[in-house]
Chain A
């Protein structure tokens, strides 16, 4: 299958998911491998995770996504909100400062 055709298929699945669950916050990620592509569906509203996962499993079964060439693996995943950026940045800054001290590094 051509890359464009695969992209269109994945795009179509994303659109159907958004249309089927308009109130559910979701994000999508793709990974391409030699013989299959993976569409990861991150469900941010955890109370809707089970129904989204069931929808993905049903779509895979009905449309035989895993029988295509390349196969499409539809992966529903629960996803919590990321940590607050400020907290993460503060932690990273502390680690870097400590590393600089340990190795006597000066800023460029």
Chain B
């Protein structure tokens, strides 16, 4: 029996503190209706996240392959960079929710949570990710920022420091980089959710 939508929204919006408090209560009654419903709701939200990750990944692949053969390649590569990054973002949030029962809301929070999870050797082994995979996410996020906000292939802000450039300083390399990361994170997420 699937949980109603309201429960999913509730679970997806829990802060870390609220999650700890509620799961603390549920853990005191293993097998209880509360514990079972929370886990079922979390599983559903994870799958909904992974559906988004998969959808973004498919679109990123499409844009990148079109960019390689057609006109307007830079715009298509920029779009592929963005979609691939968001695929990675959703995969991270799906993994975190599955593993920690908490959805890190936002880009910084999700990268921090992945960084934390990757300090656990068991997590690294199971995910198939390198311990420093979170640094690739930082690069992919920067590529996404430049792709979406800058008219150039580097970041304008902050103006007082050396500009931050995209991976490889060309759009195909940046798109390939983001796509490879998105593929790795999606595979890791499916591995977790399927375990």
Q: Which residues of A contact B (CB under 8 A)?
A: 85, 88-89, 92-93, 95-96, 99-100, 103-108
B47 interfacial by beta-carbon distance below 8 Å: yes
- A17–B6 alpha-carbon span in the complex (Å): 27
The chain B residue sitting closest to A90, CB to CB, is B2
- B43 adjacent to A108 (CB under 8 Å): yes
- B47 adjacent to A89 (CB under 8 Å): no
- B47 adjacent to A100 (CB under 8 Å): yes
B132 interfacial by beta-carbon distance below 8 Å: no
Residues 42-54 of chain B: 1 if any A CB is under 8 Å from the residue's CB, otherwise 0? 0110011011001
The chain A residue sitting closest to B48, CB to CB, is A92
Known: A96-B44, A99-B50, A108-B43. A89 touches B2 (CB 8 A): yes
Residues of B within 8 A of A106 (CB): 194
- A85–B6 alpha-carbon span in the complex (Å): 9
For B194, give its contact among A89, A92, A95, A104 (CB under 8 Å).
Answer: A104
For A96, give its contact among B6, B51, B190 (CB under 8 Å).
Answer: B51
The chain A residue sitting closest to B42, CB to CB, is A108
**Chain B nearest CB, measured from A1 CB (Å):** 24
- A99 adjacent to B2 (CB under 8 Å): no
- A85–B54 alpha-carbon span in the complex (Å): 24
Known: A103-B194, A105-B194, A106-B194. A95 touches B51 (CB 8 A): yes
Count of interface residues, chain B, beta-carbon cutoff 8 Å = 15
**Chain B nearest CB, measured from A96 CB (Å):** 4
**Chain A nearest CB, measured from B52 CB (Å):** 10
Known: A99-B50, A99-B51. A92 touches B193 (CB 8 A): no
**Chain A nearest CB, measured from B40 CB (Å):** 9
B133 interfacial by beta-carbon distance below 8 Å: no
- A89 adjacent to B5 (CB under 8 Å): yes
Apart from the given pairs A96-B47, A105-B194, A107-B43, 5 other A-B contacts in the complex at a CB distance below 8 Å? A92-B44, A96-B2, A104-B194, A105-B193, A106-B194
B122 interfacial by beta-carbon distance below 8 Å: no
B4 interfacial by beta-carbon distance below 8 Å: yes
B34 interfacial by beta-carbon distance below 8 Å: no
**Chain B nearest CB, measured from A19 CB (Å):** 29
Q: Which of B125-141 touch A at CB < 8 Å?
A: none
Residues of A within 8 A of B39 (CB): 108
Q: What are 6 A-B contacts defined by CB distance under 8 Å?
A: A85-B4, A88-B5, A89-B2, A99-B50, A99-B54, A103-B194
The chain B residue sitting closest to A95, CB to CB, is B51
- A89–B48 alpha-carbon span in the complex (Å): 12
Residues of B within 8 A of A93 (CB): 2
Residues 164-195 of chain B: 1 if any A CB is under 8 Å from the residue's CB, otherwise 0? 00000000000000000000000000100110
**Chain B nearest CB, measured from A104 CB (Å):** 7
Residues 73-110 of chain B: 1 if any A CB is under 8 Å from the residue's CB, otherwise 0? 00000000000000000000000000000000000000
